[in-house]
Amino acid sequence: MEQIIKKPANIIPRPNLRDYDDALETFKWESAYDQVEWFDGKLNAAYNAVDRHAKSHRRDKVALYWQGVDRNEKYTFFEMSRLSNRFANVLTDLGIEKHDRVFIFLPRVPETYISFLGILKTGAIAGTMFSAFGPEGLYDRLHNSGARYLITNSSLKERVYQIKDDLVDLERLIIVDCDDGVGVADDEVSYTEAMKNASETFDTVQMLPDDPAFMLYTSGTTGKPKGVVHRHLAIVQQHVTTKWVLDLHEDDIYWCTADPGWVTGISYGLLGPFSCGASVVVYDGRFDPEVWYSVIEKYQVNVWYSAPTAFRLLAQAPDAHKSHDLSSLRHICSVGEPLNSEIVHWGVRTFGLPIHDNFWQTETGGILIANYPSLPIKPGWMGKPIPGIKAAIVDDSGCEVARGVEGNLALVADFPSLMLTIWKNSAKYREYFSGGWYFTGDRAVQHEDGYFLFIGRADDVINTSGERVGPFEVESALIEHPAIVEAGVIGKPDALRGEIIKAFVVLAPGYEPSDELTSDVKRFVKTRLAGHAYPREFEIVDTLPKTRSGKIVRRMLRAKELGLPIGDVSTLEE
């Protein structure tokens, strides 16, 4: 069995969660409600993230250090509070009301953070979209959510205009990078102009704990992406887990490398750390080991939250850290895909610190299982449930299995950051629950000692570089290409990216396999769906395995690819 890493006491002198076992036994979520501020049973996550600090001794503390490619900026809690107030006024003047949807399609610029907070302050629901999305990915999200306004910039807006005529609910675009309104079309709103004219005071709308705050689309096995809606109360779990798992302390400088278009970039790139009053570093630029290490050095980052693929890429540049002083680092965490034990050990060799894995999902809004500063790390294992979470391994009928036996990773659904619903699809929402459990869709094992080991997805969802991709969306995009009549898509294990997307396609009559065709199809999926969701591998086949009702059996494609047994074929087409 893997050796457990016992950390020297001086690495984390005073972890926020000192006695895990005691907290596991005694902690109740209600007891953490007073870690955020309430107004007669109501609250607002944005108020808790910035305004309460702007009124405290943290008023002039830097909340956001923003590093762009060739410039940088910083914003105090007071400035973030005032700017998000201004944006809330901009939206209110435009007629935005409680529960309306306002979406953001931007890179990691300060306006992303300011507008997200401003949206929450009005009581509207904020949605973020990764800046690599193409027109089809945007259409699915904007159409399903019925977003009324979209905040974007002058280059990304071109992709929106390719589909805007079909979006009946989308009223106007707010463009952030057009100073003094120059370059803004008549029916667009200039962010700069509107912000200049808006008041910097705003009465933040106080929301019920279960009122929706933000939504993020994520992929399942079938159908279009699902709009996962999160409530304002989730801030309680984001706050507590930021303290316990990321171990943020008052003077910490914290860098989360996740994009705000994904859940980690919101729950732990914005809400959790701001709520704890920490200074957050945001780097908006390409991945480059030298630049990443220089960000840690320049901002004296203490706590760093990233993902296995990023660590594996850094490990491929074994000398890059040597020219940087990284001694500020105190605690490193990872999420999104399995963290192989070699990378945990690489962390020890490279930074003198092990990497702490943790597990959660878009739907759970906050961390569920983790390796903690105060507990030994078990490399390769996701860790133990956070206090307040009951996690278990159950069989398909919801009965708990013995320790050491593989099964479905399930949770008791009574924690504050669990999704409120799936937007306009309560049937999909209900599918997550059975026999009193929330099913994560993941397979895992729990060891005698309580640690959980990730085995794999129970469904066909692909996890490439920590980003979740639905095979159905990729297949749908592929068959829109004139050369392709049928497509089946799987995740193929990959040493660097965890999985890569592999497509099996049947060509239309008259088309012949060629390198040009392959590159054209890749480009087609990249520009229509998203930059990260294109198949890196193609195989042209004569037919695809299907059930008698015509559904493609991806399990067989995967078995064939990996040389595994094909399993039960009784329901397949002749």
C-alpha to C-alpha distance for 461 and 218, rounded to whole angstroms: 10
Distance CA 559, CA 49 (A): 47
Retrieve residue 532's tokens: 């990260």
* Tokens of residue 121, six digits: 């302050």
Q: How many CB atoms lie within 10 A of CB 35?
A: 14
Residue from the set 110, 225, 260, 336 that interacts with ligand PRX by CB under 6 A: 336
463 binds ligand PRX (CB under 6 A): yes
The nearer residue to ligand PRX, 353 or 462, going by C-beta atoms, is 462
Q: Give me the residue whose beta carbon is nearest to ligand PRX.
A: 362
Choice from 108, 141, 384, 468 touching ligand PRX (CB under 6 A): 468
For ligand PRX, which residue of 20, 103, 452, 454 counts as binding (CB under 6 A)? 454
Question: Where in 120-202 does DSSP place strands (E)?
Answer: 125-129, 149-152, 172-175, 189-190
Q: Tell whether residue 457 is a contact of ligand PRX (CB under 6 A).
A: yes
For the bound state, the minimum distance from the C-beta of residue 443 to ligand PRX, rounded and expressed in Å, comes to 9
Q: Return the residue of 51, 100, 111, 337 that touches ligand PRX, per CB under 6 A.
A: 337
Q: Which of 204, 440, 446, 465 binds ligand PRX (CB under 6 A)?
A: 440
SS3 letters for 491-518?
A: EEEECCCEEEEEEEEEECCCCCCCHHHH
**446 binds ligand PRX per the rule CB under 6 A:** no
Shortest distance in whole angstroms from residue 416 CB to ligand PRX: 16
Give CA–CA dist 472/478, Å, rounded: 10
305: its two tokens? 């939250």
Question: 103-122 mask for ligand PRX (x: CB under 6 A)?
Answer: --------------------
Please say which residue, 94 or 315, places its beta carbon nearer to ligand PRX. 315
**Which residue type occupies 196?**
K
> What does 435-450 look like in DSSP terms, one character per residue?
TTEEEEEEEEEE-TTS
Q: What is the DSSP string of 363-393?
A: GG-S--EE--TTS-B-TTS-BEEPTT--EEE
SS (H, E, C) 11-70: CCCCCCCCCHHHHHHHCCHHHHHHHCCCECCEECHHHHHHHHHHCCCCCCCEEEEEECCC
Q: What DSSP assignment string belongs to 176-195?
A: SS-GGGTT--TTSEEHHHHH
Where does this chain touch ligand PRX (CB under 6 A) — which range of 176-184, 354-362, 372-380, 484-492? Answer: 354-362
Nearer to ligand PRX, 2 or 573 (CB): 2
Residue with smaller CB distance to ligand PRX, 100 or 259? 259
Using the rule CB under 6 A, is 359 a contact of ligand PRX?
Answer: yes
Give the nearest distance from C-beta 341 to ligand PRX in angstroms. Answer: 12
Contact 351, 344 (CB under 8 A): no
Q: Smallest gap, in angstroms, from Cβ of residue 459 to ligand PRX?
A: 10
Query: Shortest approach of ligand PRX to residue 403 CB, angstroms?
Result: 19
Under the binding rule (CB under 6 A), the answer on residue 462 touching ligand PRX is no
| C-alpha count within 13 angstroms, C-beta hemisphere, residue 421 | 10
Give the range of 39-47, 335-343, 385-393, 517-525 binding ligand PRX by CB under 6 A: 335-343
Q: Does 79 bind ligand PRX (CB under 6 A)?
A: no
Q: CB under 6 A: which stretch of 154-162, 317-325, 357-365, 414-422 binds ligand PRX?
A: 357-365
Return the DSSP state at 464.
E
Contact 472, 225 (CB under 8 A): no
Report how far apart, in Å, the C-alpha atoms of 446 and of each of 89, 241, 267, 414 are: 50, 21, 26, 21
Using CB under 6 A, which residues numbered 1 to 40 contact ligand PRX?
A: none
String of DSSP letters for 340-354: -HHHHHHHHHHHSS-
Q: Which is nearer to ligand PRX, 42 or 447 (CB)?
A: 447
Cα–Cα distances (Å) from 323 to 289, 291, 320, in that order, read 11, 11, 7
Site stretch for ligand PRX (CB under 6 A), options 92-100, 358-366, 482-490, 518-526: 358-366
Which of 20, 103, 360, 437: binder of ligand PRX (CB under 6 A)?
360
Q: Of 245-264, which residues contact ligand PRX (CB under 6 A)?
A: 263-264
- Which parts of 186-245 interact with ligand PRX (CB under 6 A)? 218
Q: Which stretch binds ligand PRX (CB under 6 A): 16-24, 75-83, 337-345, 417-425?
A: 337-345
Applying CB under 6 A, the residues found at the interface with ligand PRX are 218, 263-264, 335-339, 357-362, 382, 440-442, 454, 457, 463, 468
